[in-house]
Amino acid sequence: MWPEHGKPGFCEFLECVNAKMLELNLLLLRMIMESYGVGEYYKSKAFGDNTVNNFRAMKYKVPKSKNEEGIGLGPHVDKTILTFLCDDSVRGLEALTQDGIWISLHIPKGALLVMVGDALEVLSNGRLQAAKHRVIMSGEKERYSCAFYTIPKDGAGIEVPQELVDEDHPLLYRPFVYSEYLEKHLTNTNFDALQVHAGI
């Protein structure tokens, strides 16, 4: 599967990057949970051993006709806790604002874009909302991107920390096993997939 041929060490390199991304991802997640005063929840239940990281490299083709736009990736929210993205500076990634406007996102060279996934929407009881995004291709250059997704591992439960439920923030999601949600809704790109599965 890996292009070991002519690229010795590629596989180890990728595994090493992926492990570092998981580390960074968990650090960020801990900081977020601590900022909400639920660092203990993070330590005890949520992550560390209960979280895994996936890596995906993507290539987006140039649209068939010169003056047209092509959908590289349809509108969706990530079914992750957090996603890190980087690209080759060819534009295409767009995010949907609260006002319903698609805006183009630029990821500076050497930077990572951090995207909130729907699992983090649960863990923050809606304080953070999963980013609605898509990829639209135009122009004459193909686009390459890399994504590092952090998800609760197979069989791991996910629930709203009790401390994050109050009068201003009523409970939004019931506890559920994240991999069961993925099994049912992996190909469901509707923005409300999580709401349908575990919403109250």
Residue 151 within binding range of ligand AKG, rule CB under 6 A: no
CB closest to Fe ion, residue no: 78
Contact pattern for Fe ion over residues 77 through 96, marking x by CB under 5 A: -x------------------
User: Which residue from 76, 72, 61, 86 is spatially nearest to 148, judged by alpha carbons?
Assistant: 86
Residue 118 within binding range of ligand AKG, rule CB under 6 A: no
Residue 93 binding partner per list ligand AKG, Fe ion, none, with a CB distance cut-off of 5 to 8 Å that depends on partner kind: ligand AKG
Q: Which residue lies nearer to ligand AKG by CB, 32 or 147?
A: 147
Residue 25 within binding range of ligand AKG, rule CB under 6 A: no
Q: Which of 14, 73, 96, 128 binds ligand AKG (CB under 6 A)?
A: 73
**Number of residues near Fe ion (by CB under 5 A):** 1
Q: Which of 47, 133, 148, 194 binds ligand AKG (CB under 6 A)?
A: 133
DSSP character string of the chain? ----TT-TTHHHHHHHHHHHHHHHHHHHHHHHHHHTT-HHHIIIIISGGGEEEEEEEEEEPPPSSTT--EEEEEEE--SSSEEEEEE-S---EEEE-TTS-EEE----TT--EEEE-HHHHHHTTTSS-PPPEEEEE-SS--EEEEEEEEEE-TT-EE---GGG-SSSS---B--EEHHHHHHHHTT---TTHHHHHHB-
Residue 120 within binding range of ligand AKG, rule CB under 6 A: no
Residue 150 within binding range of ligand AKG, rule CB under 6 A: no
Residue 51 binding partner per list ligand AKG, Fe ion, none, with a CB distance cut-off of 5 to 8 Å that depends on partner kind: none
Q: Which residue lies nearer to ligand AKG by CB, 73 or 171?
A: 73
Residue 2 exposure: Cα atoms within 13 Å on the Cβ side:
11
Binding piece for ligand AKG, criterion CB under 6 A, among 9-17, 28-36, 62-70, 85-93: 85-93
The residues binding ligand AKG (CB under 6 A) are 56, 58, 73, 78, 85, 87, 93, 133, 135, 145, 147
